[in-house]
Structure 1
């Protein structure tokens, strides 16, 4: 297989795994099914993203010991079974266990595999390779949200969950069996990795971690409330709200290769500052004037910026800490995503319940992005200090 084929396979695998981003299509129907409010209805999504991030380091560790096909197969099967089990749940706790825990663990184990495979085949342009691969994760709602919406409308959210899980099982297993590293990487993974403490004791790690946390806090909280904001604040119908999720998925996907290329050419600082500044503008604009036009613009920008961070973070991890233990290192950096998922989703739900509107989340987004600008300069300082040492 030509090396570009591994990027395509990674995109397809992540297309299935990334259906977690279409959760806002299920959120209000699940509120009606289980009789829960905005805070509780976000828990399955929040838990899925938390366990996804928590098991990324474990997936990276497994990838240092076992073949990509084994790790991808394990994660893919767990993800599919999580969706299927969620669809058969008869209680809200069952939904949390299958969708929130099992599905999240599966995504966490499998997610890093196509990224590590792609960068092993394209070491000369890691940002572009990683950005192109993770397009699948970002564009997933473009494909899966309309399908999920039709299934929900036809037979309810539980039927939609188990139907998608069965489909994922038949798609992801054959893909997982085809993944492998480039020959040079196959041999390099046999050498023992450096101690993890070497990573977490470095200031540049924590500056990158905080930058990623702030970017994902805003992005993941935005994604989780996209459908409800469209219906409650802007006044769109359920069908148009679901369609908007598909539209924003295009921007989420486009942000990944765009910012991956930007990091390769101009460096992390340029990409991160552009992301934070556009987040501030979009958030304050929608807060000041919440209607259909500003909703479309602001959420397109915010979805794009989440995609941007899911390309900038791995590419910068590769640039700062090297290739040899990339999967393990990015697994540690990726824990910022899990913390951002929990805090962001929980805070947006609480603000909705306390104030009666999701609008309160947007000034907070702008404030956090402003703090992120300071962290970017801190990371640059740590990196410069190390180069001079």
Structure 2
């Protein structure tokens, strides 16, 4: 591996680790409610807005990603993140925080996030799945490091000062890293390899998109419900559930390189079927267990966390598998809007089910029904397409 490539990979992992701080919002949430004297529902708006703009900016910037523009996207995206944290530190009401944390930071993260993933498709055409998974490992496991550090900073200073400190961290660490990202176009990437007629006839994008929406809907929904289900509905020990969250985060991170490698070797259909099967197992365990034992709770929710990480590695490799390098940036940006759609639908569905029916069994039944839909969609997908790059 060339020295410059190694530096870009290490830089990508570090940036993902830093940006994964956005998933530590639950650490801020209690303090935000106290600071602005708002409800739990209202305090969730900045996070939901951030997820939406994260996915939306991925779609917009994905259409314009080119080897010579990588540095610019990382630089300007990081500036938005820095500005977002600084403004969050002086926000006087929740509406301003929705704009600073939600719109600015979400947009900035989306702009930067797509760059390392696009980069590995170019530099490692035969191992892009594995390399994408390794880079995304940093994003998935970030809360293990950033959540406790952020919590300590809030206790040591204040939530406003913590936002300022995070802005300085991005200014000092991530902004300089933007100068590493630039690629020179290679002639081997200018030619779009084939099976164009086959792909046009098949038109797999809508099916892949639907599968991604379902996967993120289930994953984000269950991740958001983990603590609530474990403590409130199952009556499990709060400390044990909190410790389990760290274990689940590790599983979420490890799934990314594991399924990235699986994508390289077996392709989309096999990887998708395996993931759907694991989600079915998790749901059946949930129906059987219903809080009777902590061990089964851990297996069930651990599998949900694991499979969200899996799909975040499956999708970028799948786009390259079906559409090639030339269409990658545009297609992946559009595909990632499914993440935002899944987040919104998952939140609405789980809230409705639990508020109206008050029983977790209906959640598991809902997921199993979605897995039937996923199985049907997967059955209509072709086997792995063999490519020369």
* TM range, smaller chain: 0.7 to 0.9
Looking at structure 2, the residues matched to 93 and 61 of structure 1 have their Cα atoms a distance apart, in angstroms, of 30
Looking at structure 2, the residues matched to 146 and 54 of structure 1 have their Cα atoms a distance apart, in angstroms, of 29
Q: Where in structure 2 are the equivalents of 1:1-389 lying within 5 Å? A: 1-64=3-66, 66-155=68-157, 157-181=159-183, 183-184=185-186, 203-235=203-235, 242-287=242-287, 288-290=289-291, 291-355=293-357, 361-380=363-382
1:65: Cα distance to partner? 8.0
1:351: Cα distance to partner? 4.0
Alpha carbons 1:25, 1:148 under 8 Å: kept: yes
The worse-fitting range, judged by mean Cα deviation, of 201-210 and 224-233 is: 224-233
Looking at structure 1, the residues matched to 182 and 67 of structure 2 have their Cα atoms a distance apart, in angstroms, of 13
The worse-fitting range, judged by mean Cα deviation, of 309-318 and 23-32 is: 23-32
The worse-fitting range, judged by mean Cα deviation, of 233-242 and 334-343 is: 233-242
Secondary structure of the residue aligned to 1:314 is: helix
Secondary structure of the residue aligned to 1:123 is: coil
Alpha carbons 1:18, 1:140 under 8 Å: kept: yes
1:178: Cα distance to partner? 0.9
Offset from partner CA, 1:66-109 (integer Å, 9 cap, x none): 52111111112212322332333232212211112111111111
RMSD, aligned CA = 3.0
Alpha carbons 2:121, 2:320 under 8 Å: kept: no
Looking at structure 1, the residues matched to 315 and 65 of structure 2 have their Cα atoms a distance apart, in angstroms, of 19
Offset from partner CA, 1:125-183 (integer Å, 9 cap, x none): 11112111111111111111111232344455444444333322322112211112255
1:45: Cα distance to partner? 2.1
Could you state the TM-score of these two structures normalised by the residue count of structure 2? Answer: 0.86
Alpha carbons 2:218, 2:367 under 8 Å: kept: yes
The worse-fitting range, judged by mean Cα deviation, of 36-45 and 276-285 is: 36-45
- CA shift in 2, pair 1:343/1:32, >3 Å: farther
- CA shift in 2, pair 1:149/1:112, >3 Å: same
- CA shift in 2, pair 1:257/1:95, >3 Å: same
The worse-fitting range, judged by mean Cα deviation, of 103-112 and 368-377 is: 368-377
1:203: Cα distance to partner? 3.0
Structure 2, unmatched stretches of 5+, are 193-198
Looking at structure 2, the residues matched to 112 and 377 of structure 1 have their Cα atoms a distance apart, in angstroms, of 29
Looking at structure 1, the residues matched to 243 and 90 of structure 2 have their Cα atoms a distance apart, in angstroms, of 26
The worse-fitting range, judged by mean Cα deviation, of 135-144 and 148-157 is: 148-157
Looking at structure 1, the residues matched to 243 and 337 of structure 2 have their Cα atoms a distance apart, in angstroms, of 31
The worse-fitting range, judged by mean Cα deviation, of 159-168 and 130-139 is: 159-168
1:292: Cα distance to partner? 3.1
Secondary structure of the residue aligned to 2:108 is: helix
Structure 1, unmatched stretches of 5+, are 193-198
Count of residue pairs brought into register by the alignment: 376
Could you state the TM-score of these two structures normalised by the residue count of structure 1? Answer: 0.86
Offset from partner CA, 1:327-369 (integer Å, 9 cap, x none): 1211011111111122212333444444567775443233223
- CA shift in 2, pair 1:87/1:378, >3 Å: farther
Alpha carbons 2:67, 2:182 under 8 Å: kept: no
- CA shift in 2, pair 1:283/1:293, >3 Å: same
Secondary structure of the residue aligned to 1:4 is: helix
Alpha carbons 1:24, 1:225 under 8 Å: kept: no
Alpha carbons 1:24, 1:227 under 8 Å: kept: no
Looking at structure 2, the residues matched to 352 and 18 of structure 1 have their Cα atoms a distance apart, in angstroms, of 28
- CA shift in 2, pair 1:169/1:229, >3 Å: farther
The worse-fitting range, judged by mean Cα deviation, of 149-158 and 13-22 is: 149-158
- CA shift in 2, pair 1:211/1:247, >3 Å: same
Alpha carbons 1:120, 1:182 under 8 Å: kept: no
- CA shift in 2, pair 1:155/1:300, >3 Å: farther
